[in-house]
């Protein structure tokens, strides 16, 4: 087996346990991998401000470490000073998404590197929770055309899970043909550029760093992790992952509550 040089790791349900903690076992394995020169790339639907505390806790910092945010819409250095890969969402696509969400009576917003914007004047508690979690200020606009001079990366709908089940099933081909529609959590439905995915971002980063596809590993648990599990040299599904992800993974590790990330890194990176 090829030596693993990049490990892409999802956050919720993967890196974090159900208490939203990084276990000492996971932290130790990541720090050993970093000391070996392996790039540990936190790969998430969140923006960079929403992962800074996690990066700091793991000791991932500087211009020679990397993070994949917005479900692959953006690849940045951990310092945030340099963007390596960027796939913005088209305004016209969002206008169609926004009109659909208004028809569904469902809240939706768009996000840039450092802020969120919506034309919905009624902010639900799921949106408030999400913006607080990822540390994004929210600006309420009067109309979508006010976004004309703003480059945003994704749109995200926030609602009760059963409401989003209905909305996701109703997304018309007019929208799904333009963008990737993904479920990152039960209460989030996200829309990103067709060329943006965790898998594409991982391979773009690997190419920039001169790392072969077979030298990459990805670890995840949800539908938005599908592309990176499928495209990485070694795709690892958590024991708590959805069935579709387990079906395409090369290996199934233990659950997020059993330090599954550590077990995968120990096996494929540290040879323990």
Which residue ranges form the domains of the chain, and what is each CATH number?
6-86+197-268 (3.40.50.1000), 91-193 (3.30.1240.10)
pLDDT band at 181 (very low <50, low <70, confident <90, very high): very high
Expressed in angstroms, the distance from the first to the final Cα of the chain is 14
244: tokens are 């579709």
pLDDT above 70 covers a percentage of the chain that reads 99
Q: In what order do the strands lie in the sheet with 251-252?
A: 83-86, 74-77, 66-69, 39-43, 6-9, 216-220, 234-237, 251-252
Angle at 116 between CA 110 and CA 120, to 5 degrees: 70
What span, in angstroms and rounded, lies between the C-alpha atoms of 83 and 16?
Answer: 26
- Residue 219 — very low, low, confident or very high, per pLDDT cuts 50/70/90? very high
For strands 83-86 and 74-77, give the pairing: antiparallel
Query: In which residue are the tokens 């956050």 written?
Result: 11
Q: How many CB atoms lie within 10 A of CB 141?
A: 16
Of residues 246 and 195, which shows the higher confidence score? 246
- 193 among known catalytic residues: no
Read off the pLDDT of residues 85-133 as tens digits, 9 standing for 90 and up.
Answer: 888 999 999 999 999 999 999 999 999 988 999 999 999 999 999 999 8
Q: Is 138 helix (H, G, I), strand (E, B) or coil?
A: strand
* 10, 12, 221, 225: the active-site residue: 10
Residue 2 pLDDT class (50, 70, 90 cuts): confident
Average pLDDT over residues 68-90: 92
Cα separation values, 39 from 5, 123, 127, 182, 253, Å: 6, 38, 32, 26, 20
What are the tokens at 217? 């590993």
Confidence at residue 1, expressed as pLDDT on a 0 to 100 scale: 62
Residues 46-72 have a mean pLDDT of 94
pTM, rounded to two decimals: 0.87
């Amino acid at each position: 087996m090829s030596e693993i040089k990049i490990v892409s790791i999802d956050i919720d349900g993967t890196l974090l346990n159900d208490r939203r903690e990084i276990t000492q076992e996971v932290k130790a394995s990541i720090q050993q991998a970093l000391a070996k020169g392996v790039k540990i790339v936190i790969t998430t639907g969140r923006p960079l401000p929403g992962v800074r505390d996690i990066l700091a806790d793991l000791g991932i910092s500087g211009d020679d470490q990397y993070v994949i945010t917005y479900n692959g819409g953006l690849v940045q250095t951990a310092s945030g000073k340099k963007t390596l890969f960027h796939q913005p969402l088209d305004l016209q696509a969002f206008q169609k998404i926004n009109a659909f969400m208004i028809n569904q009576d469902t809240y939706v917003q768009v996000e840039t590197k450092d802020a969120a914007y919506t034309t919905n004047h009624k902010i639900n508690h799921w949106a408030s929770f999400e913006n607080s979690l990822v540390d994004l200020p929210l600006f309420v606009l009067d109309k979508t055309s006010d976004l004309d001079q703003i480059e945003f990366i994704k749109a995200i709908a926030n609602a009760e899970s059963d409401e989003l089940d209905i909305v996701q099933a109703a997304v018309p081909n007019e929208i799904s043909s333009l963008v990737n529609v993904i479920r990152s959590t039960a209460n989030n439905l996200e829309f990103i550029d067709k060329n943006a995915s965790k898998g594409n971002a991982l391979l773009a980063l690997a190419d920039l760093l001169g790392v072969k596809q077979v030298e990459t590993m990805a670890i995840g648990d949800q539908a938005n992790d599908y592309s990176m599990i499928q495209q990485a040299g070694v795709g690892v599904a958590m024991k708590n992952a959805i069935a579709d992800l387990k079906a395409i993974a090369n290996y199934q590790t233990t659950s997020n509550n059993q330090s599954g990330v550590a077990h995968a890194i120990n096996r494929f990176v540290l040879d323990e």
